[in-house]
Amino acid sequence: MPTATAAKKKTVRINGCVASAQAAKYADVDVIAAYPIRPYTATMMALAQMVANGELDAEYIVADSEHSQLSIAHGASSSGARVFTGSSGVGVQFAYELYSPISGSRMPVQMMIADRTLDPPGDFGSEHTDALSTRDMGWLMGWACDAQEAFDNHLIAYRIGEDKRVLLPQMVCQDGFFVSHITTDVELPDSGQVREFLPPYKHPYPLDPRHPVSHGPQIMPEQGPPLQLERARAMEDSMAVIEEVHKEFGEIFGRHYDPWLEEYKTDDAEVVFFLQGGHGVTARFAIQHMREKGLKVGMVRLRTIRPYPTDRVCEVLSKFKVVGVIETNMALGSPASGGALYADACAALYEAPERPLVISFMAGMGGEAIVLKEFYWMTEKMIQAQKRGKIEKRTHWVGFEE
């Protein structure tokens, strides 16, 4: 068990993008693959300055596309480097081809995502559809709700992904603008503590002429099932490592995160919001207000969506009468005909002895802020459903209904 060294931590006022860049610096990454797209690009701007100032010794490569960014990351990681890259919106999708090969070759590349809507509408706001559309590609994935959590998640994700029991790439996500461009206090740790928590990366099978290996060979169909099973098991088995690493992080740095879910005022709650990312901060505030009015409302914020904490979600959400899923993503034609989070939540709840009513709220689309009165409106819908004992309809588009 690592022990905390004399802590030389400091508190700085930075936004989510810079927090991510700081985390990459503390992780002493070897290769950075950059390409500009708003809003994540501020992370790469900060890293360029750090490399220029000699604060970080890394190869900073400006790629010619996101596809190249991830290809650079793949090659660099396969050669044994700790790699940092990132993107937003359509950029995440331009690189799509590489996600499965990177997880398939078990390369713990880390990618920072600051969400942005896809086209259309292509505005600069945050919708989680960019990263969520890649959620089943074998990458560990989770959302931060503020800059501090983003910083912490990067270090935690490297440690999990590089664990020899896991060896999987990670998408460390934060809402564009709501997190990436809002400045808050962030505690930066003592770098000695980070070295203890996150030792230098050593891949077991790098491309090395002394020990030649072939990565990613062509296989015959009959060789497919075991290879796919291996990757599926790596994802499943990562769950124990995820819990272990979060526990250790808390012990060293003093910030204790539940790896899967943040529960806010759920002890006596009857209706809860189920969401991920930066809107959780507004939700807490709205819940405080509604609590003053005597409404038994709470929030469950999903911190890790891949691997999905099915048992935990089932156990926690089945305590409530009504669950209101706030999507902030588009899953057109999906089971709720709204967002993607609903289907996962319902699947997790299926085996619960008593299931809550589940409603999908399409809110924050196009990166709109979800304002307090919308939280009140959604709470009202949940309470109505609770009284009636059934939902009015599966999906509400918030702001388009009375």
Partner 1 sequence: MATYIQIDPTQKLEPFKSVKKLPLEEYFTSGHRTCQGCESALVMKMMAKAAGPRSIILGSTGCMYVANTTYYSTSWVVPWMHTQLGSSGSAALGTSAALKVLMRKGKIKNEPINVIAFCGDGGGADMGVGAISATLTHAEYNSLILMYDNESYANTDIQLSGSTPWGANTTFSSPGKMKRIMHRRWKKNMAGMMAAGHPECKYVATICMSYGLHGMNSIRKALAIGGPTFIHSLDPCPKGWDYDPYLSHEMGELAVNSGVWPLYEVENGVLRLTGRTEQIAAGKIRRVPVRDYLLKQGRFAHFTNDDIDYFQSKVDDMWEKWLIPGVIPFRKDVEADPPPAN
Distance CA 341, CA 327 (A): 6
Distance CA 59, CA 329 (A): 34
CB of 261 to partner 1, least distance (A): 36
Q: Which residues, at least 6 apart from 120, have a Cβ–Cβ distance to it below 8 Å?
A: none
Q: Which is nearer to partner 1, 217 or 389 (CB)?
A: 217
CB of 248 to partner 1, least distance (A): 24
Among 223, 228, 397, 401, binds partner 1 (CB under 8 A): 223
285 touches 279 (CB < 8 A) = no
Is residue 31 a contact point for partner 1 (CB under 8 A)?
Answer: yes
Q: What Å distances lie between residue 359 and 137, 315, 351, 362, 397, CA to CA?
A: 27, 18, 18, 10, 11
Among 45, 48, 61, 371, binds partner 1 (CB under 8 A): 61
Q: Which stretch binds partner 1 (CB under 8 A): 72-80, 180-188, 265-273, 323-331?
A: 72-80
Among 24, 27, 33, 305, binds partner 1 (CB under 8 A): 33
Is residue 231 a contact point for partner 1 (CB under 8 A)?
Answer: no
Is residue 64 a contact point for partner 1 (CB under 8 A)?
Answer: yes
- Tokens encoding 264: 């806010």
For residue 227, the SS3 value is: helix
Distance of CA 275 to the CA centre of its chain: 12
CB of 88 to partner 1, least distance (A): 19
Going by their DSSP bridges, the two strands 304-306 and 140-144 should be labelled as antiparallel
Is residue 314 a contact point for partner 1 (CB under 8 A)?
Answer: no
21 touches 47 (CB < 8 A) = yes
Is residue 311 a contact point for partner 1 (CB under 8 A)?
Answer: no
CB of 66 to partner 1, least distance (A): 10
Distance CA 191, CA 40 (A): 24
157 touches 140 (CB < 8 A) = yes
Position of tokens 């901060």?
Answer: 281
Going by their DSSP bridges, the two strands 83-87 and 31-34 should be labelled as parallel
Q: Which stretch binds partner 1 (CB under 8 A): 57-65, 138-146, 236-244, 328-336?
A: 57-65
Q: Which is nearer to partner 1, 212 or 389 (CB)?
A: 212
Q: Which residues, at least 6 apart from 332, have a Cβ–Cβ distance to it below 8 Å?
A: none
CB of 333 to partner 1, least distance (A): 29
Among 12, 36, 79, 133, binds partner 1 (CB under 8 A): 79
Cβ atoms within 10 Å of 315's Cβ, excluding its own? 14
Is residue 137 a contact point for partner 1 (CB under 8 A)?
Answer: no
139 touches 171 (CB < 8 A) = yes
Among 195, 215, 289, 394, binds partner 1 (CB under 8 A): 215
Among 207, 281, 371, 372, binds partner 1 (CB under 8 A): 207
Among 63, 147, 234, 391, binds partner 1 (CB under 8 A): 63
The C-alpha angle 18, 13, 191, rounded to 5 degrees, equals 65
Distance CA 47, CA 86 (A): 12
Is residue 55 a contact point for partner 1 (CB under 8 A)?
Answer: no
Is residue 101 a contact point for partner 1 (CB under 8 A)?
Answer: yes
Q: Which is nearer to partner 1, 210 or 390 (CB)?
A: 210
Q: Which residues in the 172-201 window bind partner 1 by CB under 8 A?
A: 200
CB of 69 to partner 1, least distance (A): 8
Residues that bind partner 1 (CB under 8 A): 30-31, 33, 57-59, 61, 63-65, 67-69, 71-81, 83, 97-98, 101, 105, 200, 207-209, 211-220, 223
